[in-house]
Structure 1
Amino acid sequence: MKALIALHFQNDICHPDGLIPFAVDRSGPAPDLFLDRSRTLISRARDAGWLVAHVHIAFQLDYSDLLRNAPLFRAAGEFGALKRGTWGAAPMHGFEPAPGDVTLIHSCNNAFQGTGLEGILRERAVSHVAVAGLATQYSVEHTVRHAADLGYVVTMVRDCCGSANEAAAQASFAAMAMLARIVTLDEIEF
């Protein structure tokens, strides 16, 4: 069984009016192309019978669960972003979970941390996971590393991973090539 882990396709992170300015480069046509490819990836994974796990990052309205040990986490509070139950924390249009999908919420980078994702994958006898989403060098890379450590065969879908820092994203793909198969949407095996 295969699964797709779709990370942080949320309004505050992806939408042009979102409050997080550094997750994806919103200039030019690149973000729309990335988002279109990512929607296609999710659709194809569903059609192929994969488990689709949407992992969203969201915080209590008072940010009582916000980690404050790193600038990345503190920024969410400073921008007033990703509050549970708000438009900003909701899935971006076209990324809403479908029946049969799994939706998990966490307050950190790693899709496995505090979500129960490992148990869900084990329960469904998943052996292969593909990872896509935002941001490449943070949440995607952290999730790829953890999945590999858990023994999953991991694929990282490079044109369905977003980042506002192209150099950091390219470094992430190069580093993750020792832990995962790095492919484009057109190269992934469904």
Structure 2
Amino acid sequence: MVEDSTCVMDYTSEFTTYEIFKNRNALCNWARDVGRRNGLVIVIKRSDSGSGRKERVTLGCERGGHYRNMNKNSETQTDKKRKRETGTKKCGCPFALKGSKLPNDNWMLTVFCGVHNHPAAKHLEGHSFVGRLSQEETSLLVDLSKTMVRPKEILSTLKQNDVLNVSTIKTIYNARQIWP
């Protein structure tokens, strides 16, 4: 899917914060919540656990980067088979946030590039990363499933508890398969 390259959305002010986070998860959750409120999906692009260097994490837009064909035989079989048409949500979005660990084990977030080259999503339903269930939601799902509550009612309960929840009924069915 090719986006119009003239579409530039600057979200630097939304992600600029002087807050010091207690840990890496708090930093990532804050960035994802801000992204979700603005119609963006924020994912971890790169992570460095330290090992001689300062711990850091790079967050970016899920649409950053480009599609990579992972088919090993794509070059050798082009003559034999017609190349499969694929669609991708990747459009080379340059958005990047840098999180770094401070000497006192707290974390700080800086905006490296606050620009997106695509419009924000109007509805985040259907985005696999945003639709994931948190640990609390998963435990609630397990408890409700044990009491024989229907998946439709489980989904409505989850959505009542969290206004920003964009899970679908398919997410509920998949989670029930994993947690019998």
Output the TM-score relative to the length of structure 2: 0.25
Structure with higher RCO (Cα < 8 A, 6+ apart): 1
Instruction: Give the structure with the larger helix fraction.
Output: 1
